[in-house]
Structure 1
Amino acid sequence: MKNRFLPIIVALTLVTGLSLRADALPVGTLLQIDAALDRPVVPAQQPEDVVVQIKILPTRASDLIPRPPVNLSLVLDRSGSMSGQKIEQAIQAAELAVGRLGARDRVSVIIYDHDVETLVSSQVVTDEGLYAIKRALRRVSARGNTAIYAGLSQAAAELRRYRDAGYVNRMILLSDGLANRGPTEVADFRALGRALAGEDIVISTVGLGLGYNEDIMATLADAGQGNTYFVENADDLPRIFAGELGDALNVAATNIEIIVRPRGGARILKSLGREAELRDGAARFRMPQVYSGLEKLALVEVRAPQGVVGAVEDLIDVEVNYLPAGSSQTRSQQVSVPIRYTDQVEQVVAAARKDVAQNVVDNRVAEAKEAAINYADAGDREEAASSLRSVVGKISADYGFLGDEVVAAPSASLEHEADEVQTKGLSNEKRKSFRADSYQSRNQQSVQ
């Protein structure tokens, strides 16, 4: 339900020029929580599998709360493969990112090749400091190998110095090559990302060109609960860095927890896209941060029990807990999601939510691309193609009644991708694209 006082609060704040305190606002003012089923009306004759979507969207009021300061660390690859335009654009991107920070923000810069150097130790961004940082960046040249893990570890050490001082902690990693010094396995980076996420340090990764390891970069971003990017052209780096920093500068809430509990005879089957912890019959999602103007989703497949024609029953309860930006007081919002039973097919069709169905389709496509990568890596083109085609059948069976608007475009794209994978295999470029596309769909990452 919309908060009827929100327009008044926003208008008064704009007129007076005063800022809001998150703790002073009514619950529900900062985050809008919408929970809905892809099919809120289902046939009554037998159990039905449906998908519940929980959408979190910061309201306009969140823009008027003083943002918490950012504690940023840039981790830049300076190995030999970064020579020329790559290192030049990386330096420009770093300069632009640092230039967007305010007087309350902190920044550190780590550069790595076969060794690691703290180019800029964590410091507040003053005018004098900004000039010194840019001057230091312009002295960076490409050389050596790629010690990614050591670079990340050093950046984490810089962030930890001020981690508990009310900052939003963010790390951005740029690499164009394979990790070939120190730990090099995907599992090593997954463990590191999870450990840092446990310290409220969010990690985003930027892979440049076709030589980097997309498995490491996507896994690190996933475990570190940040974003991942596949950048083919170095000219795009300033734009990517600007967009990534824009998120950090617009944090509306942190430590978000979504708990989905079934009612009655309902049963949670699995999470879709974003990973959830399934325990004691409930699904629990965690997000480190949400940003003003950007919605985030959680999707859960639920088996609804057989019902009685005409009956309306609460299928699940949703609880969302979060910490508003700049606040020390956890907020909680609850909502229940009903389902209605019918014996009229036209009622099922009329009530279906196309917006929810579209998000379900996007996430099923993301899962299919991950499966295709695994089969292609094992040398099985047939199964890789089959995994893509099987989703065409699944989304047609589930949502074909909604028409071409929902199923036509993804089905045509999947058929084309399946044909290409079957005849040519999965190229290096296509594999990177699949990995990035899948991650971005599952995490509702805005593509810069």
Structure 2
Amino acid sequence: MNSHRLIKIKHLIVAACLSIPLLPTAHAKQVDLDVNLATPIMEANKTHNAFIKISLEGIKQEKLQERIPANIAIVLDKSGSMQGDKMYYAKEAAIMAINRLDLNDIVSVVSYDSRVNVVVPATKASDSTRIARAINRIQAQGNTALFAGVSKGAQELRKFLDLNKVNRVILLSDGLANVGPSTPNELGKLGLSLAKEGISVTTIGLGLGYNEDLMTQLAGFSDGNHAFVENASSLAEIFQYEFGDVLSVVAQGVEIRIRCKNGVRPIRVLGREAEISGSTVNTRMNQLYSEQEKFIILEVEVPAQENQASIDLVDVDINYNDLFHKRTERLNSTVAANFTRSQQQIEEAIDTKTYEAAAEQVANEYNRKAVEKRDQGDIQGAKTILQESANYLDNLGQSLASPKLIEQKEEALQDAQELDDEQEWTKKRKELKERQYKRANQQSY
């Protein structure tokens, strides 16, 4: 073949390649979904209760500058009990945290006592010096209009509300809500209504005077974080942790639907609020963070199956708002169980990590019930519940050779020993409620 003909063929090939339309580059999903069964192989010809873990994890952010813009309202209690060090450290923590924001972020600051005051209306976070001056002018006095303060913070967020931003109210309070709506139920309803708008509320309880039931309800129904801070000098650290979460959100508006199959019956969801209707379970998460796992544990009843049978237990469908690409994404998965008469196969197949996660949530439920008994004045009843929890963790921990569960057993026994002291109960109760909340929601700090 002569050189002129070769050149002509090469030109034709290049021309043909250039004429082919380029396919759009597929973008990576921002969330990984895993569905795991604690006991993938079960004994044949028996009905079983089984734990299914539905796990979601935001992918790693490759570049620090590539993050989702934040729309944050800081709501500060400035009632009379906040005078002195509390107010000083609260203002310092807020200013330090705001300095982490950049030109694409929106910030507002609201203070409240008997009344509510907008200290910094919603604005770009560019003029940090002016914002700091405004915060430093806050003075503590008056009562605690907590509901109105959170509502005003949400109102400031709505000025720039965008489902492609991270919309977060950060509430700091050291006292009981005593002006306006003030019950945990009322604040829980507020949290739920804000969640429907794409707003989450993080609650930070300072000292020993705040209502931890109210604060965890408000945070829980909006899928925010919760922290108990005994000493005001620790506020800066907590604010840094919180802003770290806010600035690492990769997905929002996560809707989870689980459909049980083949006669499998949903019993309960551990750790999160969920709606069970027939064979379908619906729940949600407001936000997912980069490299943080969030999960729910579903307990199901599995009908008896013949030896060597294999059935799908559930289908899981996830919808979420991909904040980086500003579009709705969908994920789906399923999980199956196999059945055998071989005890060895059953034991070798156990998924230890999934079983540990389920056991932790079961123990968390024991802990909740123990606090309820203690609140009723039944200290012995509370101790009995915690002993049951310890026995459950010990038996399972030994069976799975799990140091993690054995450690939690010791924790339950220690909790039982600390229920008698009336003078320390206020602090202990806050510690227990904080721990319950963090475990149920897999909080990062």
The two structures share one fold, judged by TM-score above 0.5: yes
CA distance in 1 between partners of 2:35 and 2:161 (Å)? 33
- Kept after mapping to 1: 8 A contact 2:222/2:286: no
CA distance in 1 between partners of 2:422 and 2:135 (Å)? 42
Q: Which amino acid aligns with 1:340?
A: N
Corresponding residue number in structure 2 for 1:80: 80
* Number of residue-to-residue matches in the alignment: 422
- Kept after mapping to 1: 8 A contact 2:261/2:279: no
Task: Choose from 200, 203, 206 the match for 2:201.
Answer: 203
Deviation of 1:174 after TM superposition, in Å, equals 0.1
Deviation of 1:66 after TM superposition, in Å, equals 3.7
- Kept after mapping to 1: 8 A contact 2:78/2:113: yes
Deviation of 1:400 after TM superposition, in Å, equals 4.1
CA distance in 2 between partners of 1:239 and 1:73 (Å)? 18
CA distance change for structure 1 residues 25 and 290 in 2, over 3 Å: closer, same or farther?
Answer: farther
State which structure, 1 or 2, has the greater radius of gyration over its C-alpha atoms.
Answer: 2
Ranges in structure 2 where 5+ consecutive residues have no aligned partner? 1-23
Deviation of 1:222 after TM superposition, in Å, equals 0.6
Corresponding residue number in structure 1 for 2:121: 121
SS state at 1:67 partner: coil
- Kept after mapping to 2: 8 A contact 1:62/1:292: no
Deviation of 1:420 after TM superposition, in Å, equals 3.0
Corresponding residue number in structure 2 for 1:20: none
Corresponding residue number in structure 2 for 1:319: 317
CA distance change for structure 1 residues 175 and 349 in 2, over 3 Å: closer, same or farther?
Answer: same
Corresponding residue number in structure 2 for 1:70: 70
- Kept after mapping to 1: 8 A contact 2:41/2:349: yes
Corresponding residue number in structure 2 for 1:89: 89
Deviation of 1:391 after TM superposition, in Å, equals 2.1
CA distance in 2 between partners of 1:219 and 1:412 (Å)? 28
SS state at 1:97 partner: helix
Deviation of 1:164 after TM superposition, in Å, equals 3.6
CA distance change for structure 1 residues 239 and 426 in 2, over 3 Å: closer, same or farther?
Answer: closer
What is the correspondence of 1:9-28 to structure 2 with a 5 Å cutoff? 25-26=26-27
Q: Does 2:100 match 1:100?
A: yes
The superposition leaves residues 239-295 of structure 1 with CA deviations (integer Å, 9 ceiling, x where unpaired) of 111111111111111111121111212111110112211123111120111011111
Corresponding residue number in structure 2 for 1:30: 30
Corresponding residue number in structure 1 for 2:391: 393
Aligned Cα root-mean-square deviation (Å): 2.0
CA distance in 2 between partners of 1:432 and 1:106 (Å)? 32
Q: Which amino acid aligns with 1:341?
A: F
SS state at 1:177 partner: coil
Deviation of 1:216 after TM superposition, in Å, equals 0.7
Q: Which amino acid aligns with 2:320?
A: Y
Deviation of 1:424 after TM superposition, in Å, equals 5.9
CA distance in 2 between partners of 1:320 and 1:243 (Å)? 28
Corresponding residue number in structure 2 for 1:305: 303
- Kept after mapping to 1: 8 A contact 2:68/2:250: no
SS state at 2:95 partner: helix
- Kept after mapping to 2: 8 A contact 1:376/1:426: no
TM-score between the two structures when normalised by the length of structure 2: 0.90
Corresponding residue number in structure 2 for 1:381: 379
Task: Choose from 426, 429, 444 the match for 1:428.
Answer: 426
- Kept after mapping to 2: 8 A contact 1:79/1:114: yes
SS state at 1:330 partner: strand
TM-score between the two structures when normalised by the length of structure 1: 0.90
SS state at 1:205 partner: strand
The superposition leaves residues 20-74 of structure 1 with CA deviations (integer Å, 9 ceiling, x where unpaired) of xxx95456x3211111011111111301111000111122367689433211100
CA distance in 2 between partners of 1:332 and 1:77 (Å)? 40
Q: Does 2:117 match 1:112?
A: no
- Kept after mapping to 2: 8 A contact 1:381/1:425: no
Corresponding residue number in structure 2 for 1:253: 251
Identity %: 35
Corresponding residue number in structure 1 for 2:435: 437
Corresponding residue number in structure 1 for 2:57: 57
CA distance in 2 between partners of 1:64 and 1:91 (Å)? 27
Q: Which amino acid aligns with 1:374?
A: E
CA distance in 1 between partners of 2:104 and 2:324 (Å)? 13
CA distance change for structure 1 residues 247 and 65 in 2, over 3 Å: closer, same or farther?
Answer: same
SS state at 1:336 partner: strand
The superposition leaves residues 187-236 of structure 1 with CA deviations (integer Å, 9 ceiling, x where unpaired) of 11111111111111110000011111111111110112101000111111
Corresponding residue number in structure 2 for 1:240: 238
Which deviates more, 352-361 or 61-70? 61-70
SS state at 1:102 partner: coil
CA distance in 1 between partners of 2:101 and 2:394 (Å)? 47
Corresponding residue number in structure 1 for 2:145: 147
CA distance change for structure 1 residues 368 and 99 in 2, over 3 Å: closer, same or farther?
Answer: same
- Kept after mapping to 2: 8 A contact 1:79/1:144: yes
SS state at 1:60 partner: coil
Corresponding residue number in structure 1 for 2:133: 135
- Kept after mapping to 2: 8 A contact 1:357/1:406: no
CA distance change for structure 1 residues 268 and 62 in 2, over 3 Å: closer, same or farther?
Answer: farther
Q: Which amino acid aligns with 2:206?
A: L
Q: Which amino acid aligns with 1:242?
A: Q
Deviation of 1:421 after TM superposition, in Å, equals 2.1
Which deviates more, 248-257 or 408-417? 408-417
Task: Choose from 346, 358, 369 the match for 1:360.
Answer: 358
CA distance change for structure 1 residues 315 and 182 in 2, over 3 Å: closer, same or farther?
Answer: same
